[in-house]
Amino acid sequence: MSATATPMADFLTKSPYTPPSWASHLRPLPSHTFSLAHRPTPIHRWNLPNLPNGTELWIKRDDFTGMELSGNKVRKLEFLMADAVEQQADTVITIGGIQSNHCRATTVASNYLNLDTHLILRTSKLLADGDPGLVGNLLVERLVGANVHLISKEEYSSIGSEALTSALKEKLEKEGKKPYVIPVGGSNSLGTWGYIEAAREIEEQLKCRTDGLKFDDIVAKGKGYAMNTSEELKFLKDLASATSVILDPVYSGKAAYGLINEMTKDPKSWEGKKILFIHTGGLLGLYDKVDQMASLMGNWSRMDVQESVPRKEGVGKMF
């Protein structure tokens, strides 16, 4: 289950884009794309315990698109960054939550291409006036030099992302910059081509036609964006222990939790099915949940070294 890999020599190169035949009628049609992700991401069997009889569960690892850029967000950025460079931008503006995977990936991609990054990050009213810290995605963003602008959730709600990015764009233009605005999550018509390419990649990997697949919407409602129940977090811990696949708490973790719940409630309807689960990345989001997950991590102890074990000063080299 593999498609032809992109040669490493093509990394960070801009090239003309040819869409799959089944999407060539869509508009706007991108003229170019940047090679930013390590693709194709692998697909392998995911041996979760207690699956319904005859059920095959496979997982596509978009968490393997690259360490700093890991996750599916970079797929959109391959098209958005090509457009930014085409428009001769020198600065990229985007917006999202305080632990936004998209904002982290945008910062890294921009830095690769020698573009400045300005992030508008949404946080609580209590934290909007102080240093945002160095946890998870924030650490990566600040390491590579992002300019971080904090906004409270209340301000975000009453002003809106479009007005906020427009205001920052106007300010930077007055300073002589040429900013390019990417919306929340990179979610616009141009960014959508990243997922069209993902569909083509899966089609090639599975050696099947897209019209031979069945799609359905199964709603798995949680507490809200980036909010988790203790059961969800325990599920993530148990899943990691059982399969070594680590999911994020915002997207893929909730999706997998919902999938397993559906299978548990009605195993008969899932028997004999072949399912592909797409891991969209977001591992760094777990760092924002360390306090909630601490009670689940009890597997440690102080090593008890008996007095009978021989000792000699300097025997154990530190380096």
193-243: per-residue pLDDT in tens? 999 999 999 999 988 655 566 777 777 778 888 899 999 999 999 999 999
State residue 1's pLDDT score. 38
State residue 319's pLDDT score. 64
100 is catalytic: yes
Residue ranges for the chain with pLDDT beneath 50: 1-2
Catalytic option among 100, 110, 161, 252: 100
Which residues have CB under 8 Å from 50's CB, separation 6+?
264
Q: Model's pTM, two decimal places?
A: 0.89
Q: How far apart are CA 196 and CA 103, in angstroms?
A: 21
What is the average pLDDT value for the chain, to the nearest integer? 92
> What does the DSSP assignment read for 127-154?
TTTS---S-THHHHHHHTT-EEEEEEHH
Q: How far apart are CA 217 and CA 196, in angstroms?
A: 18
State residue 186's pLDDT score. 96
Peptide linkage before 40 cis (omega within 30 of 0): yes
Other CB atoms within 10 Å distance of the CB of residue 213 = 12
CATH of domain 73-186: 3.40.50.1100
| Amino acid letter, residue 149 | H
Q: How far apart are CA 275 and CA 263, in angstroms?
A: 12
- Between the two ends of the chain, the Cα-to-Cα distance in Å is 42
Domain boundaries, the chain: 73-186
State residue 263's pLDDT score. 96
State residue 198's pLDDT score. 96
State residue 222's pLDDT score. 83
State residue 125's pLDDT score. 87
| Amino acid letter, residue 105 | A
The Cα diameter of the chain in Å comes to 77
> Can you tell me which residue has the tokens 């019209």?
211
Rg of the chain, C-alpha, whole Å: 22
